[in-house]
Structure 1
Amino acid sequence: MRILLSTFGSRGDLEPIAALAVALQSLGAEAVVSAPADPEFLRLLDRAGVPLAPAFMPIRAFVEMARRSGWKLPQTAAEVVRGQYEAIDAAANGCDAIVATGLFPSTAAAQAVSETRGVPFVLTSFCPVVLPSRHHPPLSYPGHPNPPGVTDNTALWAFNDTAMDALFGEAVNGHRAALGLPVLDHVRDRVFTRRPLLAADPVLAPWEPTDLIDPVQTGAWILPDDRPLGSDLLAFLDAGEPPVYLGFGSMPMEALKQAGRMAVEAIRAHGRRVILSRGWAELGLEDDRADAFAVGDVNQQALFPRVAAVIHHGGAGTTTAAARAGAPQVIVPQVADQPYFASRVAALGVGAAHDGPTPTVGSLSAALDIALRPQTRARAAGLAGTIRADGAAVAARWLLDAL
């Protein structure tokens, strides 16, 4: 069986897809990944031994092009749907099914390819709150905030359905009409499907059953990483007490440079050393003091067990990696599902959720006070033993059985 795994998004979307590809290959299936050909993604897929069928353009180049062009979300969606349909359709030759995640317009394009080719389609989410439920409200979109004063989740998800039609309906249905496919009244539900995969840990990100949708929760898809830490980094780790890791992953916001400076100051105020990850925001150290060390792409699975805490943006991958390592967390959420993971870390008592995306030295110091408490570390260590490591294998077996 040959399965196409499609994504158009950040590293947080790609790395789990690579993990699923490896799991499928271990069961004798053939897996092809359609993803942006950004250099770091190419290195990751090469390390995983997974073939790439390139998306219509690298994601960072597309984000920059959209920014320069001043596109609104509907126009951006139209560009992604059109470009991704062509890329995914080319990659789908000989495939028996398509599994898709990433930006919604890309998943809509993948669903259209599956429809034109007559092969099964499976959507994947990495966070429960992305999926409709009576137990939680939906995320809001720019220009379409959830109605103020409305607290009924069923009503909010009905509003979300209308908002997604307004934002994505023209792009999706215009392209479907050009392909000769019927137009959709509810683009969200057609793309989400009734039975998506939920690739999130059931303790860290539990799903409560609802009649609105019935996902298969497999556990997080974790790509094993056996890369050694660099000798300079190891020497830094060995030279003192465990440092605090700071990084905002694939968040490219310019404002995060200032947040990074605030965080370095707060970490030092606690008498802790710093490991700073440059990330897409291109964070940097402003001095050459011996108590700080800057890294690029690094093996978090090897590094996080050796740090005192992890300050990050709250992406699903980083949150899960820190939880598996037993590292206390401070989450400074920026967008999308990140406030959810911040709230879960706080609710589980394994760290602190910063209030909003713009920290100060004082607010980060207060959050670090919580994360660096002995009882927080003890709870984080206890949680680590509950995080599943076999989510990708569970998903691979389910896919092969279902297909």
Structure 2
Amino acid sequence: MRILLSTYGSRGDVEPLPALGAALQAHGVEARVSAPGDAEFAALAARAGVAFAPAFAPVREWAKEMVNRSRSASPEDRAKLISGQAAEIAARQYEALSAAAEGCDAVVAFGLFPSCAAGRLVAEQRGMHYVLGTFCPIWLPSQHNRPHEYPGHPLPAGVTDNRLLWETDIRTKYALFGEAVNGQRVSLGLTPVQNVRDYVYGNPVLLACDPVLGPWLPSDLIDAVQTGAFILPDERPLPDRLDAFLDAGPPPVYVGFGSISVASETGRAAIEAIRARGLRTVIASGWAGLGLIDDRDDCFEVGEVNQQALFGRVAAVIHHGGAGTTVAAARAGAPQVIVPQIGDQPYWAKRVAELGIGAAHDDGVPTVESLSASLEVALAPKIRIRAREVASEIRADGAEAAAKWLIEWLGRQ
């Protein structure tokens, strides 16, 4: 059996797939990961021993262009931008996945909606099985939560029934992605679909997030199989200079925003807020290119680093609230300050606060004062104790559980 694991997105969308691929291969199933062709993502697949097939384009420059084009656009123009990009992604990703799926029996698709749509189309054309996967429960139809609100398509005012709001979500996704999906279908000689959301989602859906951090409450709107997060073990040692910095004083506070293009002022505000509390800083440059603000020896800059090794040695983690960083900090028992920006990040910020393992930064541009207030919450002794308690409850076998489920489910089809 061969399974294609597909995604298009940033590191948080990519790193879990080699973990799942390695778990599948341990059960004798050949796995192939298709993801953006950025060198860092190919390295993840190589580390896991899983074959890698590049998606239609690297993602880093594409994401930067999208941010720049949408930054000053109106909600209506942003909606048009999303639809236009969706059409390009669906068409180009279909070609890439058609090649990557050669000899495969199934496609498991994560990441951006039009990329998943391309995976669904490839599976349909080739008579392959298809499963959608997601890393956060808020993306799935449920009477327990409201759907995501897209630019130019606000949720109707005054409507509190989540079921009705998810009906609205069907129309919103058609407005944003219908032309991309059906344009590709017509080009392949297929008839258009009216409900593009449910066509791409399918049923059941694989929910790859930890049940403590992001619990799934049963819904009669869709069947989700929650397995736990897919965690790729990282045995890489920390760089010698970082290791020496950690040993030279009390645990520092980590600051990193991953692939989110936050302003450089955010990094400066974080360092100054940490210094105001007499603590040291490890700052990750990330895609925003954050770095040191002076030559003082209480701050250390890192690039891509083994978070699994680092987070167990820090006093707290200040980050954007990506699903991967959230679970990495939670597994390490590190208190968190989440400064959410987009997508599912507000959800993870809310969950961290609800669990008592950190603080959710209020909306707005982070300042020294606002970050200092959030740090005061996260560094409280009761938060540290609670974070360690929750760490013992986080599952480490999500990829293994998903691999077993996929093999069993495909065997029944």
Tell me if TM exceeds 0.5. yes
Amino acid in structure 1 at the alignment position of 2:33? V
Kindly report which structure 2 residues correspond to 1:191-210, keeping only aligned pairs within 5 A, or say none: 191-210=200-219
Change (3 A) 1:402 1:154: same
Q: Is the 8 A contact 2:7 2:35 kept in 1?
A: yes
Q: Percent identity?
A: 62
Give the alignment of 1:346-357 within 5 angstroms. 346-357=353-364
CA contact (8 A) 2:131 2:203 kept: no
AA aligned opposite 1:88: L
Indicate conservation of the 8 Å contact 1:20/1:395, yes or no. Answer: yes
Please report the TM-score for the alignment, with normalisation by the length of structure 2: 0.95
Cα deviation code 1:132-170 (max 9, x no counterpart): 100000111111122233222112111111111000001
User: Do the aligned residues in 2 keep the contact of 1:4 with 1:98 (CA within 8 Å)?
Assistant: yes
**Cα distance 1:264–1:213, how it changes in 2: closer, same or farther (>3 A)?**
same
- Aligned positions, number: 401
| Range moving further from structure 2, 146-155 or 279-288 | 146-155
Task: Note the 1:138-149 alignment, pairs <5 A.
Answer: 138-149=147-158
Alpha-carbon distance between aligned partners in 1 of 2:67 and 2:332, rounded to the nearest angstrom? 36
In 1, the alpha carbon distance for the partners of 2:67 and 2:317 equals 30
**How far apart, CA to CA, are the structure 2 residues paired with 1:67 and 1:267?**
28
How far has the Cα of 1:68 moved from its partner? 6.9
TM-score, scaled relative to structure 1: 0.97
C-alpha separation between the residues in 2 aligned to 1:341 and 1:68?
25
- SS of equivalent to 2:387: helix
Structure 1 segment 165-314 matched on structure 2, within 5 A? 165-253=174-262, 255=263, 257-314=264-321
Q: Could you give the per-residue CA deviations for residues 200-247 of structure 1, whole angstroms, max 9, x where no partner exists?
A: 001110000110001100000000000000110010000110000000
Q: Cα distance, 1:57 vs. partner?
A: 0.8
Q: Which runs of 5+ in 2 are unaligned?
A: 71-79
Q: Secondary structure at the match of 1:102?
A: coil
One-letter code of the match for 1:11? R
Query: Secondary structure of the residue that 2:191 maps to in structure 1?
Result: coil
Rounded to whole Å, the distance in 1 between the matches of 2:50 and 2:36 is: 14
Structure 2 residue 402 is matched with structure 1 residue 390? no
2:46 aligns to what?
Answer: 46
Contact 1:33 1:53 in 2 (8 A): yes
The one-letter code sitting in structure 2 at the alignment partner of 1:326 is G
1:244–1:308 CA contact under 8 A, matched in 2 = yes
Kindly state the Cα deviation for residue 62 of structure 1 after the two structures are TM-superposed: 2.3
Give the Cα separation in 2 of the matches to 1:68 and 1:275: 28
User: How far, CA to CA, are the matches of 2:185 and 2:287 in structure 1?
Assistant: 34
How big is the shift at 1:14? Answer: 0.5
What is aligned with 2:97? Answer: 88
Distance 1:357 1:139, change over 3 A: farther
* Counterparts of 2:131 and 2:117, CA distance in 1: 11
Cα separation, 2, equivalents of 1:129 and 1:357: 22
Q: Is the 8 A contact 1:243 1:307 kept in 2?
A: yes
**AA aligned opposite 1:138:** P
Deviations 1:6-43 (CA, angstroms, capped at 9, x unpaired): 00100001100111011011111100111111021122
Q: What one-letter code is carried by the residue in structure 1 that aligns with 2:53?
A: A
Give the distance between the partners of 1:296 and 1:194, measured in 2 at CA: 39
In structure 2, what is the Cα distance between the partners aligned to 1:148 and 1:3? 43
User: Which residue in 2 is equivalent to 1:361?
Assistant: 368
Do the aligned residues in 2 keep the contact of 1:38 with 1:58 (CA within 8 Å)? yes
Structure 1 unaligned residues grouped into runs of 5+: none
Tell me if the contact between 1:332 and 1:357 (Cα under 8 Å) persists in the aligned partners: no
CA distance in 2, matches of 1:67, 1:268: 31
Give CA deviations for 1:312-344 in whole Å, capped at 9, x if unaligned.
000000000000000000000000000000000
Aligned to 2:330: 323
Distance 2:296 2:170 in 1: 52
Deviates more, 1:144-153 or 1:275-284: 144-153
CA–CA distance in structure 1, aligned partners of residues 371 and 61 of structure 2: 32
In structure 2, relative to structure 1, the CA distance for the partners of 1:258 and 1:65 (3 Å cut) is: closer
Cα distance between partner residues in 2 of 1:226 and 1:68: 36
Deviations 1:86-113 (A, max 9, x none): 0001110100000000000000000000
The yes-or-no answer on 1:342 pairing with 2:374 is: no
Taking only aligned residues, the RMSD between alpha carbons, in angstroms, comes to 1.2
